[in-house]
Amino acid sequence: MPELIESSPFSIAKLRIIAIGPILFLILILSPQIPYISPMAQKSLAVAVWMLAWWISEVVEISVTALLPLILFPLLGILDIKDAAHAYGNPVIFLFMGGFMLALALEKHKLHIRIALNIVKLTGTNANGIIWGFMLATAFLSMWISNTATTVMMLPIATSVIALLSVTTNKNTKNFENFAVAMMLGIGYAATIGGVATLIGTPPNTVMASILAEKYKYRINFGQWMAFGFPFMMILLYACFLILTKVVYPNRLKNFTGSKEIIDTELAKLGKVTTAEIRTLIIFSCTAFLWIFQDLLKYFLQISFDFKLNIEDTMIAVMASVLLFLVSDGKKKQTDFLLVWKDTEKLPWGILLLFGGGLCLADALDKTGLIQLIGDTMAQNKGLSLLVLLIILGFLSVFISEIMSNVALVSVFVPVVLGLAVKLGENPLLLSITVTLGASCAFMLPMGSPPNAIIFSSGYLKVSQMVKAGFILNLISIFLIIIFAYFILPLIFGTTFKP
């Protein structure tokens, strides 16, 4: 529906959908007080309903919707403007901004393309090997840059490979059609799955970490999350590959002639590795090293030199950003820096606002007691086991994210499950991470995620084909989420939650 609306931006249909949010808001504001909740909680709920209506329909840019708390909360007396604006400056937002800066440098100097092509080249000329190579390359890039940008970058390379291979293979056969469908779905799904591996890989991870830091003063560091997220990502990625190539769309094709040549041609177009690429890679590698091994470095400096190093993920990201604007790109004729401020025009500033809006909404729902009430109500069911609760949350988050922005889902749902966990006496990390992972596992519908929409636009896919593969992958995702949350998470994050 959003696509149809956008084709006629000033249509009556669009205006009606825009009006749904404010109308629902006014109904709740003007209604008699709802039993068991305070007047302020009812006002907060009214704002949440307005925001959810616009987030779900996407009739207004979701980043614009995220600005509503800055207007409505002070206006209604829920939060003053200072408290409302505080959420938009959360340290984790700057962590994600640093990740965006690194991604801009990778894209500007085409280092991401060189990395991707070399990964694909290593997988050989076998049909399934080509698909796996593209999935690996896509997932690796998506760990560090946005899944949307990754998909946009990989799609033309994949379509050119498919076009070339169709010359040497009968493209009208069912086997070749399955190869093309699996290739497209593999890229889109890998972009989504890859982002789960790092804190900056996908917005829901960052939003969840922000809420934990804001509400409980509990910080998940980069290395901790990667120790948990990377194995999850690799298992889900390989399961996705097997589902696509062995179960849903087997191609039964063997070696292709010409696939190696197209990769070599694309690499030749890039030319030799430039000084700018080398310097960008050094900064990128050092940043990743510090993110992953900062705790080990702190410990080493403490015991060896009695020096306490006060460094966190956000500081590392900002330092990397500053370096990109200070280090020369090494070009002989027209030397410049690796990044100049004009490059930041491509930075998705709206996503940063989206984080702030979600955090502000969560803060208001918490302070007005609404989240506490929901937690109290759900906690009354004492007979519900933790495992059953995780299964319910896994199903809800995965399938709701098919029709709702994953960032919006995490922004609203994570504070609720945090309150629920406290009431049930369970580790809040178990419930919040279950919801967060589930929000990043929407594989059924084109509107489920930007990568889904991008690969659907390629013309190689039908909705039914995406639903067929996506439904199975959704179920596998839920199974893996429960296994990792229940068994692996306590090993990495500990069994006790310390606010």
3-class DSSP string for the chain: CHHHHHCCCCCHHHHHHHHHHHHHHHHHHHCCCCCCCCHHHHHHHHHHHHHHHHHHHCCCCHHHHCCHHHHHHHHHCCCCHHHHHHHHHCHHHHHHHHHHHHHHHHHHCCHHHHHHHHHHHHCCCEHHHHHHHHHHHHHHHHCCCCHHHHHHHHHHHHHHHHHHHHHHCCCCCHHHHHHHHHHHHHHHHHHHHHHHHCCCCCHHHHHHHHHHHHHHCCCCCHHHHHHHHHHHHHHHHHHHHHHHHHHHCCCCCCECCCHHHHHHHHHHHHCCCCHHHHHHHHHHHHHHHHHHHHHHHHHHHHHHHCCCCCCCHHHHHHHHHHHHCCCECCCCCCCCECCCHHHHHHCCHHHHHHHHHHHHHHHHHHHCCHHHHHHHHHHCCCCCCHHHHHHHHHHHHHHHCCCCCHHHHHHHHHHHHHHHHHHHCCCHHHHHHHHHHHHCCCCCCHHHCHHHHHHHCCCCCCHHHHHHHHHHHHHHHHHHHHHHHHHHHHHHHCCCCCC
Query: Between 330 and 498, where is the model more confident?
Result: 330
Q: Quick check: 214 pLDDT over 90?
A: no
433-462 pLDDT, tens digit per residue, is 999 999 999 898 877 787 887 788 677 888
pLDDT confidence of residue 5: 37
pLDDT band at residue 419 under the 50/70/90 scheme: confident
Least confident of 122-126, 275-279, 381-385: 381-385
pLDDT at 164: 64
Of 229-243, 328-342, 351-365, 475-489, least confident by mean pLDDT is 351-365
Lowest mean pLDDT among 95-99, 119-123, 342-346, 378-382: 378-382
pTM metric for this prediction: 0.71
Over residues 64-74, mean pLDDT:
93
- pLDDT at residue 94 tops 90: no
37-50: pLDDT as tens digits = 889 989 999 998 99
Quick one: pLDDT band at residue 23, thresholds 50, 70, 90? very high
- Least confident among 2-16, 159-173, 194-208: 2-16
Of 369-383, 390-404, 472-486, the one with minimum mean pLDDT is 369-383
Q: Is the pLDDT confidence value at 207 over 60? A: yes
Percentage of the chain surpassing pLDDT 70? 89
Rounded to an integer, the average pLDDT of 20-28 is 94
pLDDT for 468? 92
Stretch 334-352: mean pLDDT, rounded? 85
54 pLDDT exceeds 50? yes
Q: Is residue 431 pLDDT above 70, yes or no?
A: yes
- Kindly indicate the confidence band of residue 374, based on its pLDDT and cuts at 50, 70 and 90: low
The whole-chain average pLDDT of the chain stands at 84
